[in-house]
Chains A and B, each alone.
Chain A
Amino acid sequence: MEATTNGNGKTLKVRYFDIEENPETHYLNAEKGIKSWLFTVDHKRIGIMYLASIAFFFLIGGILALVLRTELLTPTENLMTAEQYNRVFTLHGAIMVFLFIIPSIPAALGNFLLPIMLGAKDVAFPRLNLASFWIYSIGALFTLASLAVNPIDTGWTFYTPYSVQTGSAVILMTFGVFIMGFSSILTGMNFIVTIHKLRAPGLTWGRMPLFLWAMYATSVIQVLATPVLAITLALLIMERTLGIGIFDPALGGDPVLYQHFFWFYSHPAVYIMIVPAFGVISELIGTFSRKTVFGYWAIAMSSLAIAFIGSLVWGHHMFVSGQSELSTVVFSFLTFFVGIPTGIKIFNWLATMHKGSIDMKTPMVYACMFLFLFTIGGVTGIMLGAISVNVHLHDTYYVVAHFHYVMMGGTVIAFLGGLHFWWPKMTGKMYNEFWGKIASAFIFVGFNLTFLPQFIMGSQGMPRRYYSYIEQFQTMHQLSTYGSYVLGVGFVIIAVYLAHSLVKGAQAPANPWGARSLDWMTSSPPDQHNFKYQPVVSNGAYDYHKPMADFTLGIAEDPAHHGHDDAVKVEAEKAEIR
């Protein structure tokens, strides 16, 4: 047997390790009691706590969505007044964006997986990681408090001057979002440092799973863009409490300035939401096609390209806001360039499936759904980038449909795929494959039924954030509402069989899908310290043409202590990038 790895200039003694199936002790039962969770510095437990939190907020946001859709079943009052409706859509949007989707893949799946994929024991700053979770929780509490005081009715964008004038609890809400921003920044920093510093011996940049590249790009955006949101919200709070005129014309401020500030963060935030999804999809398609991911560097670099270009296009939300025509033209021009790296990714994933060995397990079903739905989200984005067409479609249901196709059809679907994919790893249990497929069918049908009609009524002229509408739009609104019920049923099915698997599910093997990256080279659920040995990497994350055993190398401890000695001497090799 010959294995080479760069050992940082040193010669490493490595050997093969066996992965323990269904271990007695693992991270879930290594320590007991509520405190062992709340004060843990184990990234896996923190990931699980994030997962529980976002699942809770997705439930709340989802219920609010169904309430909205039910109100829109007819143009007249069904459940609530216009004021209540405005509060509900604001909360739905704010909860989904700030409490659910931004932390969803990075903070839940990312926290759990990132150190394991790197072959590390934990993130670089475990305590800071716990602090992030607590900061997120405190921010969430402020948000919930605003619900109790006087639910906010400004829309999740908090546009001035309305947000300065309204009587609802804008300060509590924005303060909550302000606090949560710090959680996002700290997590981002932690991940960047971890990826730089804690890669296992031999895990060069070019061997990293693409999920890590995506997390890296996301973290960069989180660190660079979130402070601007914090500043904007701080200024808004000062304006409301101290009467300093910044954004409110009544005080001598300028509302367009607010919009620039807000979207300077919130457009890149769209990539905080979608880039991690790209990472998940690369893992799913590689694994279930059992094939080297096509164009590894193109996919890795396009995430960074998206992060970069995506920071320069915020003005495309403001084509009709009264910003100068020149800005409008420049922002439109730049916007289209985000489409290129995005398109490249889609084609690369398709090429990966070509000549693969495709296993249509539930996660792969979601990956294929993602390709379809996200393509729709993407091309309708091109539509909205075209200035003349944007003038017609801006702030109509076309936009509502577009961003749901991206956020829900893209990120949520990828998240579901990832959740199913790593469920066995996280919980040690297998879910029911049959019900997994049934639920995915409900979600696919329900999703399209909910949001396809919105494209049509939007281009017909139905404005968004409308409590009531003219009769012409009723058929489309009704289709959309019925679709949302189907979608709701899909989520209930998922919740039921996942919960069931925790109690009655079959024991999961360490590597149920035959994947190659390090997250599968440890038992399910993983050991408290991730690995029982220090992994050493000698292959790319998708080298399916190499035997599985090549992926379980680790540093051989003093061989004298181990009777069976199949340690191999590894050629020292200069680190490629380190």
Chain B
Amino acid sequence: MEYLTNFFLPSAESTYAANVDALFHFINIVSLILLVGITIAIIYFAIKYRRKSQEDTTPLITHNTTLEVTWTVIPLILILIVFGWGFNDYVEMRTPPANSYEVYVESFSFGWNFEHPNGIKESNNLTVPVGTPVRLIMRSRDGDVLHSFFVPQFRLKQDLMPNRNTYAWFEAKNTGQFVYFCTEYCGGGHSMMNGTVTVLTAAEFDEWNEEELGRDLDALPLAELGRLVYQQAGCQGCHSVDGSSRVGPTLQGLYMREREFTDGSTRIADEDYLIESILYPQELVNVGYPNNMPNIYQQTLSEREVLGLVEFIKELQ
């Protein structure tokens, strides 16, 4: 039985997940009974009443009120049950407990930022404590498109829009790492917009908070800062570090390689080139790639962060 449920659904890791699953299984079982019944009827009739001769005659049966009322009323009852059940659980999914821990979620093409009440910021990973209701206050970046936050193991999904907030909540039952996806189509990096929810015990969560709050970014070595920025500024959505092509070219082995551009020119990817292609991405466009790298990094990244990125890229040989 457990094997069967795991075959259909990922493990249930939020407080309301089990209810959703129960309804899922209920509908499946009723459907299966119906489907098997219909299939048997088709096969049985096809064999029993197969045409024996071209002169076959058939009885005249136009309708049968009892039968017809039966097969209207029984499904009617079933759908009312299914509606009520789904409604009931939906109310729970939409009603966060009053004392929830609140996280601001920002989506952008192609990544996610999370901001905790104490000011800690994370990207493409959300860290939360176990057994605590977490309320998500979500919004897509100004001028960006729709995205949707989907954590299969929590049975949670909610779209994000640039012009207003949307909300969702969950309470994780167990510690662990749970993957989330973007489920509102948003362009080239849509299928790379995933990340993780990391659920820690209360003690681990406190420790993590202290560590994050105490961390002095200025003291980080450049390359490490660069890795952090790579993960947090959305580069990850478009550039891989393992050689595979995403929306943009991979950063692996990029340093000192010859690049070809759509205007026919070529250039060696030295430090200067890397800085320019981050700050002014529209100037030179690589052959075979769209010209859609965000032109925002002059404003959003500090000089040290850009240098960090360059050092980080240099180390990806």
Contacts and interface: CB of A to CB of B under 8 A. Distances in A.
Size bin of chain A's contact surface: 35 or more
Given A255-B146, A255-B161, A386-B82, A162 B186 contact: yes
A356 B49 contact: yes
Contacts of A320: 148, 157-159
A350 B41 contact: yes
Interface residues of B, number: 93
A297 B62 CA distance: 9
Interface stretch (B176-184, B213-221, B255-263, B264-272): B176-184
Interface stretch (A219-227, A285-293, A417-425, A516-524): A285-293
B45 A389 contact: no
A392 B157 contact: yes
A382 B4 CA distance: 21
Interface stretch (A50-58, A94-102, A336-344, A502-510): A336-344
A351 interface: yes
B297 interface: no
A243 interface: no
A39 interface: no
Interface string B241-282: 000111100000000000000000000000000000000000
B38 A375 contact: yes
A159 B19 CA distance: 32
A194 to B, nearest CB: 27
A208 to B, nearest CB: 15
B71 A343 contact: yes
B83 interface: yes
A392 B42 contact: no
Interface of A: 76-77, 81-83, 86, 153-155, 159, 161-162, 165-167, 249-250, 254-256, 289-292, 294-298, 320-322, 325, 328-329, 332-333, 336-337, 339-340, 343-344, 346-347, 350-351, 353-360, 368, 371-372, 375-376, 379-380, 382-383, 385-392, 394-396, 456, 459-461, 463-470, 514, 544-545
Interface string B52-71: 10101111111110011001
Interface stretch (B115-123, B124-132, B162-170, B300-308): B162-170
B192 interface: yes
B45 A350 contact: yes
Given A322-B164, A325-B94, A368-B42, A459 B24 contact: yes
A392 B288 CA distance: 37
B205 interface: no
B72 interface: yes
A360 B45 contact: no
Contacts of B61: 291-292, 294, 351, 354-355
A368 B51 contact: no
B51 A359 contact: yes
B228 interface: no
Main SS class of interface, B: mixed
Contact of A460 (B8, B30, B59, B67): B8
B145 A372 contact: no
Interface string B81-121: 01101111110011000000000000000000000000000
Interface centre among B76, B146, B185 (most CB of A within 10 A): B185
A167 to B, nearest CB: 8
B283 to A, nearest CB: 18
B236 interface: no
A562 to B, nearest CB: 31
Given A256-B161, A389-B20, A467 B191 contact: yes
11 contacts: A82-B246, A250-B162, A254-B163, A294-B62, A355-B59, A388-B16, A389-B20, A392-B24, A392-B155, A460-B8, A463-B150
B60 A336 contact: no
Contact of B58 (A82, A343, A461, A545): A545
A514 B58 CA distance: 13
Contacts of A456: 7-8
A55 to B, nearest CB: 29
A400 to B, nearest CB: 12
A254 B51 CA distance: 60
Given A83-B247, A353-B46, A322 B159 contact: yes
A466 B191 contact: yes
Nearest to B74: A343
A357 B51 contact: yes
Contacts of B83: 332-333, 336, 385-386
Contacts of A396: 150, 183
Nearest to A344: B72
Given A167-B292, A294-B62, A392-B157, 19 more contacts: A77-B245, A82-B190, A82-B192, A159-B146, A291-B59, A296-B62, A325-B90, A336-B80, A344-B71, A351-B61, A357-B51, A358-B51, A360-B46, A368-B46, A382-B27, A391-B93, A392-B152, A396-B183, A461-B150
A544 B88 CA distance: 50
A82 B191 contact: yes
Contacts of B292: 167
A200 B302 CA distance: 81
B146 to A, nearest CB: 6
A465 B190 contact: yes
Contact of B9 (A357, A459, A544, A545): A459
Contacts of B31: 379-380, 382-383
B88 to A, nearest CB: 8
A552 to B, nearest CB: 18
Contacts of B144: 161
A450 B277 CA distance: 43
